[in-house]
Amino acid sequence: MSDLLIKGARIVDAGREMAGDVLIVGGIIREVAEEIPPQKGIPVLPAEGNFLLPAFVDLHAHFRDPGFPEKEDLLSGSRAAAHGGFTVVSLMPNTDPPCDSPEVARYVLEKAREIGLVEVRVVGAITRGLRGGELVDMEALAPYVWAFSDDGHGVEDHRLVWKAAKKARELGKTIYPHPEFRGLPSRELGEELMVARDLWIARRTGARFHLAHISSPGAVELVALAKEKGLPVTCEATPHHLCLSREEADHPVNPPITTREAVEVLVTGLVEGIIDAVATDHAPHTDADVAAGVPGISGIETAFPLLYTRLVKRGTIGLRTLSRLLSLVPARIMGLRQRGFVREGFVGDLVIIAEEEITVTRDFLFSRGKNTPLLGWRLWGKVHATIRGGEAIYLDGKVKGRDFDDHRQVIRGG
């Protein structure tokens, strides 16, 4: 946990906008003011002309570790997250072996801690081996995970989900469904049916549900109804479902990129607060996987620029709303405290954004996965620095660790 003084930024969080300086001491924001004089022994990071936001929190990413290091591992994924402006990432359990036991959860948490870039949180499997047949030992996993999910597959057995929900409620954990019944004539119907079922299980059990990657208009309607009834339910949408339509970006991903009309419904759901948060569903794959048509988008590094370019620059939502969707609400859904505002007493996790264009190239991506429909695209909103607990973990093209050891070498003063 470090000390840092950031000078001259346009500070934006979910609640306000102001020009000023931010002082972080011992990893915690000590002061936010129009002018804070330099302090003896505290390094200064100039941010004139740049936005300063709370660092982003990703509810939904796949770092493929253990099992598929050729796609991504905890180091390459952490570097990509830092480059994308994220300091907290919640990882899905579809690794090999899957995260259905305390041993795998501990491996992920310990390796991430050793790497020391972003803070990793873990989602445990609902069923053993993600096979949909038998519940994991939820009690044994509970100390390591904030939620349970078979992401990649919907759990089709109603009784299992019912049992998992009752147990999750007892343990104070969240059920995090991948809403999809397979084998129906319409994929949208498959999503809607599972959303409807899960909302009603939430209603009957009182368990907290957070629905992954909502992509169909019918699901938005159902969640709106659930919220009217006050059910303990939240949901997310991905940057690609909110910003891209099938007509302009034909790229295999599950759920698929949808039609222009459906995108409008999703964005309206976002504006109206029916969709609570944006989560990347960062799903890196190798070139060979891409050639074989494996679905997924490597998206953690383009999430902010895509949303900023498509939704903020076009005036659909303000930067404060985007900050709420990418930081405040995801942190609350995960149960993290003192995050999501640039305020005294809050965690000193911040991101500095330059009002500059980036070009998405293979080299731009720190992730091993180059599978994105955005290659060659120019987008606004360049992450200049990602600060975790007052320390730069990403700064101007470089990541802490391999690229620089001590942020004092690259930040003026100190």
Alpha carbon dihedral 246, 250, 252, 253, in 10-degree steps, equals -40
| Closest listed residue to residue 84, CA positions, set 384, 410, 293, 368 | 384
- Decide: is 151 part of the binding site for Zn ion (CB under 5 A): yes
Q: How many residues bind Zn ion (CB under 5 A)?
A: 3
Per DSSP, what are the bridge partners of residue 394?
Answer: 386, 399
Minimal CB distance to Zn ion: which residue? 178
List the interface residues with Zn ion, window 115-144 (CB under 5 A). Answer: none
CB of 152 to Zn ion, least distance (A): 6
Binding residue (CB under 5 A) for Zn ion from 64, 153, 178, 282 = 178
Establish if 60 lies at the interface with Zn ion (CB under 5 A).
Answer: no
Active site residues: 281
Q: Rule CB under 5 A: which of 293-312 touch Zn ion?
A: none
Smallest distance from Zn ion to CB 132, Å = 14
Shorter beta-carbon distance to Zn ion: residue 8 or 256: 256
Q: Which residue number, 277 or 319, has a Cβ lying nearer to Zn ion?
A: 277
Please state the closest distance from residue 150 (CB atom) to Zn ion, in A: 9
Q: Work out whether 191 is an interface residue with Zn ion (CB under 5 A).
A: no
Which residue stretch of 44-52, 150-158, 237-245, 379-387 sits at the interface with Zn ion (rule: CB under 5 A)?
150-158
Between 203 and 232, how does the x/- string for binding to Zn ion read (CB under 5 A)? ---------x--------------------
Contacts to Zn ion by CB under 5 A: 151, 178, 212
